[in-house]
Structure 1
């Protein structure tokens, strides 16, 4: 792991800050430590502080939110492949509140064939339940990860640590209802031995895609180490399409999950409402969650690119438009593309609820023949000219 950029200057972010770094095409680790205030903590704030991260046009965030952090420190790690020589990390404050505090920024160039250790002795600042450490894997597969956590039982309120994988809490099956959401619970330790170091390996076998591992803290646990075993890392594409530059590289494998899903939404639902676009995106996510390999596939790329599933990927006129959504200098088309990307990003990251109630299929009207699976008891939603069904 080669450190290629470091800035330990603690400062308040006003508006937007751009950080430039260079390195040949490779796997990179970007680490940002920051804090954000709740608006109740400062009478001058008009809203909670927040900070989002963007790397070479790809947005992550809001990664830091004052309503949850309450001015306590959080570290976000981004693992991503970058295909160019020169790169830009953007630190952007929230739309309403113009400040947030950054403590540290580091960029590492990695060897994808080596196991990675990202954290060394990170002790949570004393406080109540809040985000602590987040690891984002962008378009990467993950076999397993191993956190080693030191935590203690205390007289009033003990140390606790929560683990989430892609938003799903990893529960403590040995704990009572009060503590089962906390994987590491200090209150369960005996007073005769009130401090413990736990090391646990989570076998996840996640396919290539966008994944998050989140640690939340109550009081002051210490993450002594945090290692990951990646799956087979795909070849680095010549260029990774972004929302601002979505031109097709010639291989949809170069698209991130968000870009590929945005293409599908754009091709299938360009002229409909944002609600309908979100619903189309959720049908794909529901297929991912279903994990029906033979019928649909397992991940976003496999599901979207499966032959004869989506009209937008079967008709050449639709494909041509999706390959370069911004080719025509047309404001309504540009808005439809950005709405499609926004819907895809929020759907994948779980930032918006599922309006389809689990639908996996849909069709649009007018249509010559209604599909045989479109029975009334399976119908979950109708929006614009789209009809949604849960199979």
Structure 2
């Protein structure tokens, strides 16, 4: 049985049925999966450097080019996130490693992108000969160098500024290093890290031309994308094509901001310390859509209940005074009642009974 899955109306409990939110959530997820699948599929095609097809400056080709560029940037963002979690964590926890890794990070971020391309392109092309995956990895690595350093510094700074009270509470709970990382350090750093991810993603647009229009020695490779489209338009002095490219970039930025970053910002606000909480709570229509949909709850299971309906902060405002600790007011309508099927052990029900957890950040997120 789903957590808070039944609503009391007219003295009887009713199960939520499929709604338009469920249909919209399913279509949104399927659409994103299909688009990413199309973009990834284009990255493993055969490559013949001497007989590359010329890039088309037709506006009809821009949607596919934009999709491939955004796919590369998202892949670089995932790689940057993995690098951030490993590199910054090692530097923050090990004093000797910190003395080496942090100055090295300063040096790495000062190297221009063309400096990395000069030796990585040959390596990746030779790693996957005859396949476009080699140049694609070189382009992703070039974009990675424009994203990773900023995120690593942000995560490192967050780990070094964890309040002593939270650190002592995590020790009193006897959390392992793995549990401490995912239940304290990552949630505490999440608000700042997400904003730096947005900045890194935006900074990557400045390097897509150099990353996609690869030119090292006698090797000339133009990967289909917005960057190579702009490079071709500049070579042919087509201002109209440059205008179409700017329009495509604007639409792409708005889409991934609304579908990816805004939901992440709204979700991560729950981990912000109370003394630094924003006066205006960030909202996202995508996150609200999934919260109102039963599709995510069916897929994610009971863990989704801690994300749905806004988490502990909004649950406090919707607390219902009842003798039954398992029955509370629904945050959606304020009138209907919702029954907790985890026997009141979830964080929201604990808050409703007035029992404050000793460590707000330790728990599921």
Higher relative contact order (CA 8 A, sep 6+): 2
TM range (shorter): under 0.3
TM-score normalised over the length of structure 1 = 0.22
The structure carrying a bigger helix percent of its residues is: 2
Which entry has the higher C-alpha Rg, 1 or 2?
A: 2
TM-score normalised over the length of structure 2 = 0.24
